[in-house]
């Protein structure tokens, strides 16, 4: 599939900022304590680069952008304590912010990354991997996908019988 540079990164950055606002539990202004209370008294616009990379968390180079009409998808995932995702891979570039919890990602080849609340993550595109909640509270993970209509965000691999360690 042909790929070309994209002008959609500013849009994705704005979506990321929007997803990170509000209550950490429900995403709305419900009165619950905010993990962003440290910014309540800022008097000027602040900007912080959370991540800039051309590689996924395991150091693999990201593929070129898809050519054609994009479909931007924003997902919030909530994983109970102790839960494990099945082995899967992503056919599209995706990245996100772990809002709460501790996520351990394991690649089929044994690569491992532990992500903590507030960390930005750039997922693997192509390689099979899985994730586990290794913390003591539910994971809240906001992910942003640069896809095209009809492209799955993840493809499951039930044939992989390797235990998640």
- pLDDT for 28 equals 53
Query: What total of structural domains would you count in the chain?
Result: 1
- pLDDT for 10 equals 46
Which residues fall within 8 angstroms of residue 48, CB to CB, at 6 or more apart? none
Q: What percent of the chain has a predicted confidence (pLDDT) above 90?
A: 54
Comparing CA positions, the residue from 142, 164, 29, 132 lying closest to residue 77 is 142
CATH classification at residue 145 = 2.60.120.10
Domain assignment of residue 21, yes or no:
yes
pLDDT band at 5 (very low <50, low <70, confident <90, very high): very low
pLDDT digits over 112-139, tens only? Answer: 999 999 999 999 999 999 999 999 999 9
Phi then psi dihedrals of residue 55, to 5 deg: -130, 155
Domain assignment of residue 4, yes or no:
no
Domain assignment of residue 1, yes or no:
no
Residue 9 has pLDDT above 60, yes or no: no
| Residue range of the domain that includes 47 | 9-156
- Calculate the dihedral angle through the C-alpha atoms of 40, 72, 98, 79, rounding to the nearest 10 degrees: 120
Domain assignment of residue 22, yes or no:
yes
Domain assignment of residue 86, yes or no:
yes
Domain assignment of residue 144, yes or no:
yes
pLDDT band at 31 (very low <50, low <70, confident <90, very high): low
Domain assignment of residue 130, yes or no:
yes
Domain assignment of residue 112, yes or no:
yes
pTM of structure: 0.74
- pLDDT for 30 equals 60
């Amino acid at each position: 599939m042909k790929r070309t540079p994209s002008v959609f990164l500013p849009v994705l950055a704005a979506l990321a900022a929007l997803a990170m606002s509000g209550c950490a539990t429900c995403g709305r202004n419900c009165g619950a304590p905010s993990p962003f209370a440290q910014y309540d008294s800022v008097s000027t616009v602040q900007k912080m680069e959370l991540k800039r990379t051309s590689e996924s968390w395991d150091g693999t180079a990201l593929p070129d952008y898809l050519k054609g009409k994009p479909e931007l998808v924003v997902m919030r995932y909530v994983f109970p304590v102790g839960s494990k995702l099945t082995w899967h891979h992503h056919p599209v570039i995706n990245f996100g912010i772990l809002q709460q919890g501790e996520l351990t990602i394991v690649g089929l080849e044994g690569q491992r990354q532990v992500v903590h609340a507030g960390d930005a993550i750039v997922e693997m595109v192509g390689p099979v991997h899985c994730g586990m909640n290794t913390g003591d509270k539910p994971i809240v993970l906001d992910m942003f996908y640069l896809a095209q209509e009809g492209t799955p965000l993840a493809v499951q691999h039930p044939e992989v019988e390797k235990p998640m360690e």
